[in-house]
Every structure is written in structure tokens, then in C-alpha cells.
Amino acid sequence: MTEKDILSLTAVGLGKKIKEKEVTVLEAVKAVMDQIKDMEPVLNSFVTVEEEYAFTQAEAVQKRIDAGELTGPLAGVPVAIKDNICVKDMKTTCSSNILADFVPTYTATAVDNLIKAGAIIIGKTNMDEFAMGSTTETSAFGPTKNPWNIEHVPGGSSGGSCAAVSASESYYALGSDTGGSIRQPASYCGVTGLKPTYGTISRYGLIAYGSSLDQIGPVAKDVTDCAAILEVLASHDPKDSTSVEREDYSFLDALTGEVKGLKVGIPADYLSEGLNEEVKEAVLKAAKILEEKGAVVETFDLGKVKYAIPAYYIIASAEASSNLSRFDGVKYGFRAKEYSGLHGMYKKSRSQGFGAEVKRRIMLGSFVLSSGYYDAYYIKALKTKALIKKSFDDAFAKYDVILGPTAPTTAPKLNESLSDTLKMYLGDIYTIAVNLAGLPGLSIPFGTDQKGLPVGLQLIGDCFQEKNILRAGFALEGEHGYVMPKTAQLAISGREEK
């Protein structure tokens, strides 16, 4: 197979070809490494590329496949890991200067599960610093560009993971989603991203931002890949006390193409002001397709949606202020060169090590927890969370799936968002409530707008009902699905001409 053919495959597609001995693991790794070399100067999807490790792993995994020890659908398939997920002996920075040289001595459970399934880790992807941001512009190592148009952001915080998959620099990637950080960049980059039910994938080894909201999830080219990856990632982990033992881990079973009788609700709140007209049209078109395939589609009032963002920023910032206090220049990470005394060392190291957005959220989080404000802010936010959860419970009493947009617009231009952070926060309006309620959410690509930028659709399911959204997503993606952006295609054909 040519490199172009190899890179056009999905993760599951590649796994199959490897098993059938049409492609070797080494060829697959070489293909993504070639693509990375051509794309990285432009995109900056990666913080670290582990070329040597990847090739060594490729040989080892190939042997185990040949020996019949590795038989899963992802054996030998290259994967990129968001840089807030620990991999032993691999630099893990959270795209922050404070962790610029941090090398974990242990591996996250999610990554361990991948390694056991024969995945080849090719590197660590760029992100908003400590996952705080919606554009991947707050990275201390420079922004990632959107492969569809490099003047635009890839979204965030898992912008590096989504850009890498979109540009065929990797077959799939791990992201993390605290308020939409997988789904929103997936939608901006034209790839499929899944945020599973809270507790489905172990958080052990994920460097915490908002612990009650954080969840690791797959970024891939299509729904089938997402389901296959989820089967590998999902596990009950005794090292994570919030990990849930689930009854059913066979997500691929849901992909029948059949949606007859599926009850789909579209929140009227999600189609109101602020939503870009082209995105709205895409949602309505998807609704029509589902209806034609036998689903029952209705609009309804979800309610409380607008309160999700303020509640989220209180909870996430409060938890972050506490989670990030461990970065103090004592045990790991950056320590300022000059300081006076212990507290001087703390303040200088943290002030020089953290970027502006991280400091902003730590300050807000410390404030809302401080004496005299706790009840007014933090407790109020936890009560709002309870109300939002209730709204979803009511909705899922009537519907199997909630359909809506992933983000109000397609990808904005670079430097447009950071000047007005509140506006940037509002961009997460459709994704944030899902994290507060612990629900699974899937973003699938659904065509492009007039500017040629991808539009994403979001499917939300009830707790532990990933199968419903995977089923609906699978039925819809036939219409549009993954398209390789021009930049990536050009890089491949450029190499072929040589």
C-alpha cells in the first residue's frame, strides 16, 4: 500500500490491514512520522514526538501480533496522547512552563490499557495550559493551528489531539474533557470526539484540572473508531475511587445503523440566540435524517442551560485552585532561580511558571472558596449543578438522545478569543452542562460551512448510555463523516511526487 492509502485508513481499518499483513506496524509508524515531519512546522499539534520509542515499539508489537499474542482491533495502531496524561519516562508538560521538564515515573491507567492492546504511542499533544482554555492558544509552547485553515484555532483544550488526528499525524488520540475540551476541538477540526460518562475511564495519571468534571476520552476519525477505542480504555480501576464498574463494555455492538424508534430530543434552548445559522441548519438536517431513518424527533425545553457556565467556572476554578497548589517548586517542575525565603520561592516559582489564564482561574477559585464567600459561590454552584442534573434526568425520562450543536460557531481565528475571555467561556455553552451532570457526549463532523470550516454535531446520552449516542452518531456519519483537510492531503501528495 502507498503511504497515501495507509494514512487514509481509520484506526480500526489500519488494525485490520495489519492483521491481514497488508501493512506492517513499522510502515504505519513511518507514515505518521513522515506526515508529522511535514505538518508540524505548520500545525504544532505535538509538544513531544517520540520517534525512536515509536519505532522500537513498532517492532516489538509486530512480533507479538505475528505470534498471535495481540489480536485486538487496535494492535499496532499509532496513537497520540494529550500532554496532561502521564506516560512513564515520557515528558508530560500540560503545555506549561511549570512542568516543562517533568518526566512521570508511572503511566496513567488509560494509557496502560492502550499499551496492553498493542497501541504505539507516537508522542504527546499540545493543549491549553493545564486544559484551561478553548483554543489551544494558552499553551506555553505556542498555539496549534487548525489543519482546515491555519489562520484559525483548532479549539481546545484538546486542540493538539484533534488537529493531529484531523491532519493524519495520528490515527487517533487521547483527549481530556472538563467542559467540552474533547468535543469542541473535535467539532472545529472535523473529527469525532467522545466524552464518556464520568467514571468510565480511570483518571489515574490524568493531571487534574477539575476533578469532579475531568474525563479522558478518544479523538478519532469516526464513530466506529471511538467505540473500539472506548472498549479498550474503559475499565474499573481500583486506583481511582471515582471509577465505576460498568455492566456492559461492548460498545461496538451499538453500531447497527439502526435508529428506528430512537427518541431524540432537541433542546430549544440550544437553537436560540448566539447560534450560528449554518450550524443550526446542520442540526436541523441531522434531525431530518434521523427522522427519515425511523427515529422520533422533538424539540423540548431543557431549561437551566445558561446557568451551567457560571456554575462550571466556580466549580472548575475552585477545584483547580486546590489541584494546582501542588505545583510549588518543591517536588517536581519549575523552581524560580531567584527568591527570598520559602514563601518567596512559592510565589516566584508559581508566578513565573503559570501562564495568565491559569493564574486567572486559580485566583478566581481561591476567591470563591475563601472565608465568607464559600456559601454564596461554591455551595450555590453545587446546588445549581443539582438542578442541571435534574433537568437532564427529566429529559432522559422522555428521550434516548439529545441532539444539538457542539459549539455555537465554527473555529474562530487565532487571537480572536483570548482578548475577551468571557466570550470565550460562552463558546462552551452546549458542552459544559454535560460535564456538570456527568453525562456522555459525542461530537461528530457534519459537513463544512461556507468558509470551508468543519461543523460539528453533539449527541448527548443519559449516564452509562454511550451506546445510544454511538448508535445515533453512526447512523448520521454516513452522510458526512471524516474528510482529510487539504493541507494534510497536499503534504502526502508532495511526498509522493518526490
Active site residues: 82, 157, 181
Q: Amino acid identity of 107?
A: T
Task: Put the strands of the sheet holding 215-220 in their side by side order.
Answer: 46-49, 120-125, 78-82, 172-177, 215-220, 192-195, 441-448, 454-461, 401-405, 263-267, 296-300
Min CB(20)–other proteins separation in Å: 37
**C-alpha distances in Å from residue 107, one per residue of 84, 90, 113, 114, 115:** 12, 9, 10, 11, 10
Min CB(312)–other proteins separation in Å: 10
Three-class SS of 105-174: CCCCHHHHHHHHCCCEEEEEECCCHHHCCCCCCCCCCCCCCECCECCECCCCCCHHHHHHHHCCCCCEEE
Please, which residue, 141 or 334, has the CB nearer to other proteins? 334
Site for other proteins in 160-199 (CB under 8 A): 198-199
Work out which of 346, 399, 446, 482 binds other proteins, going by CB under 8 A.
346
Site for other proteins in 415-434 (CB under 8 A): 421-422
Residue count (the chain)? 498
Please, which residue, 190 or 355, has the CB nearer to other proteins? 355
Per CB under 8 A, 470 contacts other proteins: no
**Host H or E run for residue 326:** none
**Cα gap 372→407, rounded to integer Å:** 36
Site for other proteins in 349-388 (CB under 8 A): 350-351, 354, 356, 359-360, 362-367, 369-371, 374, 377-387
User: Contacts with other proteins: how many residues (CB under 8 A)?
Assistant: 95
Please, which residue, 438 or 461, has the CB nearer to other proteins? 438
DSSP 300-324: E----HHHHHHHHHHHHHHHHHHHG
**Cα gap 476→222, rounded to integer Å:** 11
Work out which of 92, 170, 406, 443 binds other proteins, going by CB under 8 A.
92
Work out which of 73, 76, 78, 104 binds other proteins, going by CB under 8 A.
104
Per CB under 8 A, 91 contacts other proteins: no
The C-alpha cell at 397 is 425520562
**Cα gap 495→410, rounded to integer Å:** 30
Min CB(364)–other proteins separation in Å: 6
**Cα gap 474→290, rounded to integer Å:** 11
Per CB under 8 A, 310 contacts other proteins: yes
Min CB(91)–other proteins separation in Å: 11
In angstroms and rounded to an integer, the radius of gyration of the C-alpha atoms of the chain is: 21
Please, which residue, 404 or 438, has the CB nearer to other proteins? 438
Work out which of 147, 333, 404, 440 binds other proteins, going by CB under 8 A.
333
Work out which of 31, 119, 206, 264 binds other proteins, going by CB under 8 A.
206
Site for other proteins in 395-414 (CB under 8 A): none
Please, which residue, 394 or 449, has the CB nearer to other proteins? 394
Per CB under 8 A, 80 contacts other proteins: no
Min CB(356)–other proteins separation in Å: 7
